[in-house]
Amino acid sequence: MLMGKYFGTSGIRGLFNECVTPELALKVGKAVGTYLGGGRVVVGMDTRTSSETLKSALISGLLSTGVEVIDIGLAPTPLTGFAIKLYEADAGVTITASHNPPEYNGIKVWQSNGMAYTPDMEAELERILESGNFRKVPWNEIGTLRRADPREEYIRKALEMVKLNDSYTVVVDSGNGAGSILSPYLQRELGNKVISLNSHPSGFFVRELEPNAKSLSGLAKTIRVMKADVGIAHDGDADRIGVVDDEGNFVEYEVMLSLIAGYMLRKFGRGKIVTTVDAGFALDDYVRPLGGEVIRTRVGDVAVADELAKHGGIFGGEPSGTWIIPQWNLTPDGIFAGALVIEMIDRLGPISELAKEVPRYVTLRAKIPCPNEKKARAMGIIAREALKSFDYERLIDIDGIRIENSDWWILFRPSGTEPIMRITLEAHTEETAKELMERAEKLVKEAVRRA
């Protein structure tokens, strides 16, 4: 995907005071206000030490264009998404660098329906930003600023949709991120006994922010010691969820995606499950008997939300723990997701048992070095060669190239941020997976050499 000067795969992201500066935040505020031509915008921020200065600058820019600002302060991304709809705003902006290290920060813009700005909308913002041609209003039309806290409303609405018969012991690890101010409280209001880890929202992160088996070892240990029923973890802005089961084992993202998609079909009825081209077969095989039809989009929450908004569906999720529950909102929401996970346990049983029903296949990943300027040509060569040398039934080329048949799939995709080509593949047996990877690697290396 072609990236602009400022906006990348997930809004604006970079080192504070180097790439992401208060000056830039001011201009983004002006650009958003110019794009909207007035109206109302919700602004929320994560716990990073640089968030307050960026938020203040962004709000200044918005107000100067005549936009009314509702500042919800420290807020996980899903709470900002919720507030956009609650306050009937025209857009939302989050100051966050998601799972990146503490010295990073970023800006992400959201639509009135709760989904992120599409690449086209970001390109338009970028054009306004570059032109410096911002909307200016006279003194008596400057936007008003008010502060609000939508947490109570969020919890009240969530409790209308999620109901438990029993109470559970839940360990919540918010990673010192913005989830700290909401996720443990929602779990408590659901009637659970909550043990909260890393919930001091200081901007100093005790663990790596990406939820994975390594970063959640403390959570896993707590589950074993406290004999808890489940662990819920988030990244810095809590749009993602990682789950640790009742035995203290991190539940692989693909397995969790299958389980929750299956539960959504049980809860809301048959229908479409939206995922991305890098998701494996387990999801298809697990949800088919439950009346689920899997649709694949480009990688990224905005592509999943866009598909759900345009064509409907029961559930959308990526194999990175980013889930969108359209009955709730089009903003990825790791906190509401946490409530649904407990409801699933309440109805169906412990996750360690449920996970046994999800089929396991062999997934292999490889990275082949490829200079950015060679990526397009190399992909062209791969497209032609892959077509010839593999015996596949279907080709999906919405994001990279995925070829598949009923026994395996291979995805060739250039990285959006690094000078590498990624190969992801899945097969039913180790032997087939290895053999396919050998051929795929050879093909990509050859393509990069010739590009």
Catalytic residues: 98
Among residues 212 and 352, whose Cβ is nearest to Mg ion? 212
Residue 91's contacts (CB-CB under 8 Å, 6 or more residues apart) are 32, 36, 39, 41, 42, 84, 109, 110, 111, 112
Q: How far is the CB of 116 from Mg ion (least distance, A)?
A: 11
306 near Mg ion, judged by CB under 5 A: no
Q: How far apart are CA 164 and CA 229, in angstroms?
A: 14
Residue nearest to Mg ion (CB): 98
Work out whether 98 is an interface residue with Mg ion (CB under 5 A).
yes
The CB-of-145 to Mg ion minimum distance in angstroms stands at 26
> Could you say which residues in the range 218-257 bind Mg ion, by CB under 5 A?
235, 237, 239
Nearer to Mg ion, 33 or 78 (CB): 78
How far is C-alpha 7 from the chain's CA centre?
16
For Mg ion, give the closer residue by CB, 143 or 332. Answer: 332
Quote the least distance from Cβ 301 to Mg ion, whole Å: 9
Contact segment (CB under 5 A) with Mg ion among 97-105, 156-164, 396-404, 409-417 equals 97-105
CB nearer to Mg ion: pick between 166 and 204: 204
Q: Which is nearer to Mg ion, 66 or 76 (CB)?
A: 76
Nearest-approach distance from CB 153 to Mg ion, in angstroms? 22
Does 318 participate in binding Mg ion (rule CB under 5 A)?
no
Size of the site for Mg ion (CB under 5 A): 4
Q: Which is closer to Mg ion, CB of 235 or CB of 246?
A: 235
Cβ proximity to Mg ion: between 80 and 98 the closer is 98
Q: Give the shortest CB-76-to-Mg ion separation in angstroms.
A: 9
Minimum CB separation of residue 84 from Mg ion in Å reads 17
Nearer residue to Mg ion within complex by CB, 237 or 404: 237
3-state secondary structure the chain: CCCCCCEEECEEEEEECCCECHHHHHHHHHHHHHHHCCCEEEEEECCCCCHHHHHHHHHHHHHHCCCEEEEEEECCHHHHHHHHHHCCCCEEEEECCCCCCCCEEEEEEEECCCCECCHHHHHHHHHHHHHCCCCCCCHHHCCCEEECCCHHHHHHHHHHHCCCCCCCEEEEECCCCHHHHCHHHHHHHCCCEEEEECCCCCCCCCCCCCCCCCCCHHHHHHHHHHCCCEEEECCCCCCECEEECCCCCECCHHHHHHHHHHHHHHHHCCEEEEEECCCCHHHHHHHHHHCEEEEEECCCHHHHHHHHHHHCCCEEEECCCEEECCCCCCCCCHHHHHHHHHHHHHHHCCHHHHHHHCCCCEEEEEEEECCHHHHHHHHHHHHHHHHHHCCCCEEECCCCEEEECCCEEEEEEECCCCCEEEEEEEECCHHHHHHHHHHHHHHHHHHHHHC
CA 29: distance to chain centroid? 23
Give the Cα separation of 176 and 165 in Å (integer).
30
Count other Cβ atoms within 10 Å, centred on residue 228. Answer: 21
Q: How far is the CB of 240 from Mg ion (least distance, A)?
A: 5
Site for Mg ion in 147-176 (CB under 5 A): none
Q: Which residues bind Mg ion (CB under 5 A)?
A: 98, 235, 237, 239
